[in-house]
Amino acid sequence: MTHGVTEDGRAASGRSRVWIGHVARCLLGAVFLAAGLLKALDPLEFARQIAEYGIVGPGLAALAAPLFITLECALGVALVAGFRPRITLASGALLLLGFIGIETYAISIGKTQSCGCFGAYVQRTPGQVIMEDLLFVGLALVALWGLRGWGGTRGRLPAAVLLAGTALSLAFVLASPYLPIDPLVTKLAVGRSLEDLGLAGKVPGLGEGRHLVALLDVTDPGAAELGARLNEAVEKGGGPGIVALTPATAEDTAAYLWSAAPAFDIHPVDRPVLKRLYRRLPRFFVVENGRVTAVLDGPPLAGHSLISSEAS
């Protein structure tokens, strides 16, 4: 009898181990999928973040960003679908170790110790990201332990799902910047208040009256021409007051101020605050007594009547 109990116990323990492995596999798959999809909503920003580490230049970062995102989505799909679990789990753990290496490099170059301009707003420091990634590596190891001896989901379906998932995610990443998903991705939408946008108290006078707010990248080569068009609108008169907000540094803003001579106010706003309002710049919106009444996406000012006094 004792022998039977032991065997039952072993079998139950084995079943638990497999279940733990499956849960860990699916959790890790969901993490990769979520991470990939969230990045896919704004791949240009992810490319900028890669370039900020200084390991690769902006050109290579622009190429690496969609590939990384697709890789993450593909790993997520493969893990959830149970396709070759040992290979996908090991690849996932390796990718995470790679991320940990990058974050460690970020710490070594003093990225956490830059001015509060960085530290005061970004909630997840490289140190925190390392801890998170270590946790996910642990999850991968748990899944490998739990699923040892499991060969994965049988049949052609997992491979087909992986192929379709990879193709779809790559297509989405490439198309994402051009898709009209800004209202879903950004905080900027009609009816939102300046508090909702994180701009309350940041720009003097913006809460009263009617203003056309231009979100500008003053370092963009087209910013001077756009400034000239906004200057024309100011000189023409009759429209709302124009205020430009830029995520650029004080130095870049000053350089624009002297060279483009804007006839409108321009305020540098912390990038993490402003980034929540756009995926690509420029972007425009009308704010009336502290509330957004119109949002303009697409070619700046072309064919739009936002600057006319009748627009609402």
Partner 1 sequence: MKPLVTHPSPGRRARIILAAAVLLAFPVSARAAELLCQPNYDFCIEVDGAFPGGARFFNTQERRKYFIDIPSTRAGLLMDLEAKKMFAVPRSQIRPDGDSGLKVQDGLPPGTTAYAFSIDGPIIQFEAEDKKVRVMPVLMRPPVVGEIAMDALIADRPEYQAGMKRYSPDPTGMTALSKYSKPIELEVYFATWCSHCKIYMPKLLRVLKDAHNPNIKVTLVGLPKKFTDEKGPWRKPDIQTIPTVIVKSGDREITRLGTHEGAVPEIEFAGILQALK
**Minimum separation from the CB atom of position 129 to partner 1 (A):** 14
**Minimum separation from the CB atom of position 234 to partner 1 (A):** 8
Please state whether beta strands 283-288 and 291-296 pair in parallel, antiparallel, or not at all (unpaired): antiparallel
Instruction: Single out the segment in contact with partner 1 by CB under 8 A; choices: 39-47, 64-72, 111-119, 132-140.
Output: 111-119
Half-sphere exposure of 33 (CA within 13 A, CB side): 16
Instruction: Single out the segment in contact with partner 1 by CB under 8 A; choices: 6-14, 16-24, 219-227, 245-253.
Output: 245-253
Residue 66 or 268 having the CB closest to partner 1: 268
When asked if residue 116 is in the footprint of partner 1 (CB under 8 A), the reply is yes
When asked if residue 53 is in the footprint of partner 1 (CB under 8 A), the reply is no
Residue 82 or 240 having the CB closest to partner 1: 240
When asked if residue 125 is in the footprint of partner 1 (CB under 8 A), the reply is yes
Residues 138-167 that bind partner 1 (CB under 8 A): none
Residue 251 or 310 having the CB closest to partner 1: 251
Per-residue contact string for residues 246-265; x = within reach of partner 1 by CB under 8 A:
----xxxxxx--xx-xxxxx
Number of residues that bind partner 1 (CB under 8 A): 27
**Minimum separation from the CB atom of position 99 to partner 1 (A):** 21
Half-sphere exposure of 165 (CA within 13 A, CB side): 25
Residue 18 or 254 having the CB closest to partner 1: 254
When asked if residue 220 is in the footprint of partner 1 (CB under 8 A), the reply is no
**Minimum separation from the CB atom of position 229 to partner 1 (A):** 15
Report in angstroms the alpha-carbon separations of 210 from 28, 307, 310.
48, 10, 11
**Minimum separation from the CB atom of position 262 to partner 1 (A):** 7
**Minimum separation from the CB atom of position 209 to partner 1 (A):** 16
Residue 21 or 239 having the CB closest to partner 1: 239
Residue 206 has a CB neighbour count (10 Å cut-off) of 21
When asked if residue 112 is in the footprint of partner 1 (CB under 8 A), the reply is yes
When asked if residue 178 is in the footprint of partner 1 (CB under 8 A), the reply is no
Half-sphere exposure of 106 (CA within 13 A, CB side): 22
Residue 150 or 264 having the CB closest to partner 1: 264
Residues that bind partner 1 (CB under 8 A): 110, 112-121, 125, 234, 250-255, 258-259, 261-265, 268
